[in-house]
């Protein structure tokens, strides 16, 4: 079952593409968070979605909002992909224990061993204020993230 709107967002600590630990609760009281789970690095739909965020990053990430993208890939794979694609937001490795953060949000596909496409907008108090969960092949509409952020 996915984390519901109005519920506290499960906290986590994961390594980013620079091997630095990022903890969700470090943004509490400071910034809203757009938490984007994607299935795998180096794949077409995932790349398209994250490039859309990259290309309009100022709308998604600023003094009030932090973007965090999560997949089961390693921090090392994220480093190569972030460098290739110019991603300037954290790509977090839910690598080990495998998919534990995706599981805590209720969006891990056990049969495939990857997260489905889930996005959670989390307010400064750590509460989920909006979410969308799509099947693995179905891209999300980033304009919906912006609407959710504007409503905060």
**pTM listed for this prediction:** 0.94
Average pLDDT score over the chain? 94
Catalytic residues: 46
DSSP the chain: -PPPTTSBPPP-EEE-TTS-EEEGGGGTTT-EEEEEE-S-TT-HHHHHHHHHHHHTHHHHSSSSEEEEEEESS-HHHHHHHHHHHT--S-EEE-TTTTTHHHHHTT-EETTTTEE-EEEEEE-TTSBEEEEEEE-TT----HHHHHHHHHH-
Options 3.40.30.10, 3.40.250.10, 3.30.70.370, 3.40.50.300; CATH of 28-151: 3.40.30.10
**Rounded to an integer, what is the distance from CA 93 to the centroid of its chain?**
10
In contact, 105 and 10? CB cutoff 8 Å: yes
Residues 99-131 as b or e (16 or more Cβ within 10 Å = b): bebbeebebbeeeeebbbbbbbbbbeebebbbb
Q: Which percentage of the chain shows pLDDT scores above 90?
A: 78
In contact, 1 and 10? CB cutoff 8 Å: no
Q: pLDDT tier at 27 (50, 70, 90 boundaries)? A: very high
Domain extent listing, the chain: 28-151
State residue 124's pLDDT score.
97
Q: What is the pLDDT of residues 74-131, one digit of tens each?
A: 999 999 999 999 999 999 999 999 999 999 999 999 999 999 999 999 999 999 999 9
């Amino acid at each position: 079952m996915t984390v519901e709107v109005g519920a506290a967002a499960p906290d986590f600590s994961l390594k980013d593409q620079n091997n630095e630990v990022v903890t969700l609760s470090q943004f509490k009281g400071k910034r809203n968070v757009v938490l984007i789970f994607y299935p795998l690095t180096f794949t077409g739909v995932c790349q398209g979605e994250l490039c859309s965020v990259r290309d309009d990053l100022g709308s998604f990430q600023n003094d009030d909002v932090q973007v965090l993208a999560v997949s089961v890939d390693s921090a090392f794979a994220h480093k190569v992909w972030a460098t290739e694609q110019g991603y300037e937001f954290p790509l977090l490795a839910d690598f080990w224990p495998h998919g534990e953060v995706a599981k805590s949000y209720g969006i891990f596909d056990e049969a495939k061993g990857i997260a489905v496409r889930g996005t959670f907008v989390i307010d400064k108090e750590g509460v989920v204020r909006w979410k969308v969960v799509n099947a693995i092949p179905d891209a999300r509409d980033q304009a919906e993230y912006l609407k959710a952020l504007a409503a905060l």
